[in-house]
Structure 1
Amino acid sequence: MPDFSDAAVKAAFGAFAPEARRGLIGLRQLIFETAADLPEVGTVEETLRWGQPAYLTPVRKSGSTLRLGVPKSGGFALYAHCQTTIISAFAAAFPGQDRIEGNRAVLFEDASQIDPDRHTLLIRHALTYHLRPVSGGSA
């Protein structure tokens, strides 16, 4: 398992079934890699929310929280806040390419279903969700 700065997060990952844990660790790595390419989001904090590993941008408040977990249907999932357009925009951009649960999650059966190029776009959208585009020109 990778290094964790939060013992509760480490315990949460340790409690996942091995197959789910492998995929969730892959998504975790993708979140941190994506954040490293986005200096405007600042530091990403890893903590627990609702007992699940969660990723926030507390310093700059640029993003919406992402969570990782295991849905009741099995496999593993990447969750976004259901009152955002993060999941719906992703599903519209890539129709039929992922199993989507409403406005709240992308569901995976196996780690091989993680597409770094495609899922990075979803993560990028979440981490920058509250950033407003700067309009050009004079007022």
Structure 2
Amino acid sequence: MVYAEGMARFTLAPAARELLRLAADGEEHSATIPYGGDDFTLYAHLRARRTAPGQGEVGVVCWIVSIDLARFFGSTPPAEHETRLPPEGTAVPDGAFTIEAARHLAASLNALDGPRSATNGDGHRTMTVPVDVPE
């Protein structure tokens, strides 16, 4: 996925840093991040939490919503539920895109380990990162 690196470096990494900053309250924080153009929008769901002093965990899962195809068949842009993961929406994670974006996100955040496979069935790839992540 040619857009995975740009999305990870310029959109997901700053969002993950902000979520880690917010996670200082001891809670897990999450956000859905759009990134796209005229024919499609790439989406990522990020979640972050502090796990140990100086460390946090970031999880990411990605999917694609084709705007051009939706306009062609239905003459309308995608419905809101297509931009959200279950149970709030109907988005289906794209495994290959998620792996590639997670790999670039791990590099951008100086992760202490590589992205780990999703283990809870929701498709998020997780990584351990230093909390004071340089920009």
Is TM-score (shorter-chain normalized) higher than 0.5?
A: no
**TM-score normalized by structure 2?**
0.28
**TM-score normalized by structure 1?**
0.27
* Larger fraction in strand: 2
